[in-house]
Amino acid sequence: MLELKKVAAVLSGVAIREGTVGKARFMRLSDLSDLKSGREPSLGVGALPEVARALAIQQGDLIVAARGLSTDMCLANEAVFGAFVSLDLYLVRPDTSKVEPRYLSAFLSLPSTQALFAIGKQGSGLARLPKDVLEKMRIPIPSMKMQRLIAGLAGTFEDEARLLRKLSDLNSILSHELVARAVNAGDRAGFSRSSR
């Protein structure tokens, strides 16, 4: 097992100077929730960050919540490539010669890993995960072939969960529409009887 900092760079987010001037895009904590649920994030826009640690999100990066009850995270996708992470997030850039990003994401999302993050959080209210707790997380590193197999398995379950959420949303829309139609039909039937 290796500490996360041995297989990935862990970078703190940057302060956002939002405004109409500037073309830099910024990912915030709320955008992470949107991304995880399959919605398009509404990234903030502002001036380019002026700190050396500010790296734009690229393929293979993981975005990790620095605040909150749970330590939400996801693998970056095209919607956020080129954006910078805000102070409430960490950017984890895996060394792909040592660790498969999807494997790392699957491991960091495990309930046992999440429990370790919860123990390391500090503060009351919106607790914060210190960077060193994230960096010192011990990661099992099997062969790259095994990492890819595990990543594929985790991806299959994520795809299934996404489809089930979509099906549930569609079912909810359908049920509301059917009830609305039934109410309207009942109202028309009641109006017809009362007008006789």
Averaged pLDDT for residues 87-98: 95
Here the tokens at position 10 are 């862990």
Residue ranges per structural domain of the chain: 2-141, 142-191
Task: Say if residues 63 and 91 touch (Cβ distance below 8 Å).
Answer: yes
Here the tokens at position 137 are 């997380």
- Output the pLDDT for position 80: 94
Here the tokens at position 37 are 């649920």
Reported as a single tens digit per residue, the pLDDT across 144-170 is 999 999 999 998 988 787 788 888 989
Residues 6+ apart with CB under 8 A from 83: 24, 25, 26, 27, 43, 56, 57
165 conformational bin, left if phi > 0, alpha if psi -120 to 50, beta if neither: alpha
What's the CA gap between 149 and 105, in Å, rounded? 13
Cα angle, residue 149 at apex, residues 58 and 135 outer, rounded to 5°: 50
Q: Considering the domain 2-141 in this protein, what is its CATH number?
A: 3.90.220.20
Does 191 have pLDDT greater than 70? Answer: no
Round the CA-based radius of gyration of the chain to a whole number and report it.
22
Reported as a single tens digit per residue, the pLDDT across 24-64 is 899 999 899 888 877 889 898 888 888 877 899 999 999 99
- Output the average pLDDT for the chain: 89
Q: Which residue has the higher pLDDT, 126 or 147?
A: 147
Q: Which residue has the higher pLDDT, 70 or 57?
A: 57
Predicted model pTM: 0.80
Q: Which residue has the higher pLDDT, 103 or 119?
A: 103
Helices and strands: H and E segment counts in the chain: 6, 9
